[in-house]
Amino acid sequence: MPATLTDNELEELGACVASIGTPDFPRLISHFCASLCHADTVFLSAFFDDQRPVGLYGNHTDDSQKASLELYLDVAYVLDPFYLLFREKRGDQVLSLDDVAPDDFKQSEYYAKFFREMALTDECGLMLHIEDDAALFFSMGTQAKGARADPTRLNSAKPLISALVRRHWTRLTPANTDGSGRLSAHIHTAFEAFGASVLSPREGDILRMILQGHSSKSIAAHFNNSPETIKVHRKRIYTKLSVTSQGELLSMFLAALAKMPPTAEGDPLQFLDAG
């Protein structure tokens, strides 16, 4: 147990223990985690390999922020660096945005839409794998100007939090879908196919890295090309898709996914002009 727990945090911890197995546990453990890193906001979601994330608890009250979270859970999570890390690396860990984001992420339209719109000045996360293909992710953010989330005590308390969480969630499986959601496998397939009807395979690879927030320099290093070559590719991609900025590109991507039926195949662009 962390040596620096305050009396209030000890009380919160006791409430967490007492609530294991009840509907109150997700809320209480989320607030305990947020308290440890001096966060103002917290959002708990479940990540799965073959389903879209499921929101379990959040303390956001602003309607526009709630709408952003709904869009994130529906389609935009496929661009989230924390979700991408979940699919690539297993294990319990405390993470900052700087730990996982591409080099140009904070200049990306995704960052502008889903981080700035949440009015966050900093964020840290706690990833706990409950199954090989499922994890809980606690996203904690600060909102005061200049405030920073301190992961030190959260990291120290990670074994304790993990033990409590695994007592509550002995198994973690996706919530039953009612037909209104989209399967994650469909989203990932659509992401891979986005733009394929007009772009070359290499341009498609570059497009996906642009959407994920990589800079031309980062993309160039990935493909062992020069940044100038990637800039030429980027310009050609924008021309072929009739967009002039990353913002327009992101809007096109989200609009296409929103209109694409869950059982459909092929390039999501084909559904933009439908109905």
pLDDT digits (tens, 9 = 90+) for 63-108: 888 888 888 888 888 888 899 999 888 789 999 888 888 888 888 8
Q: What is the pLDDT of residue 201?
A: 95
77 and 158 within one domain: yes
Q: What is the CATH number of the domain that holds 256?
A: 3.40.50.2300
User: For residues 78 and 190, what is the distance between their CA atoms, to the nearest angstrom?
Assistant: 10
Which pTM does this prediction carry? 0.74
Q: Is residue 65 part of a domain?
A: yes
Q: Is residue 177 part of a domain?
A: no
103 and 31 within one domain: yes
Coil, strand or helix at 44: strand
Q: Find out whether 47 and 80 touch, Cβ atoms under 8 Å.
A: no
Q: Which of 168, 198, 221 is the last residue of a domain?
A: 168
Tell me how many domains the chain contains. 2
Q: Which domain holds residue 161?
A: 8-168
141 and 249 within one domain: no
Q: Is residue 1 part of a domain?
A: no
189 and 65 within one domain: no
DSSP state of 177: P
Q: Which of 113, 141, 168 is the last residue of a domain?
A: 168
56 and 163 within one domain: yes
- Mean per-residue pLDDT for 4-27? 84
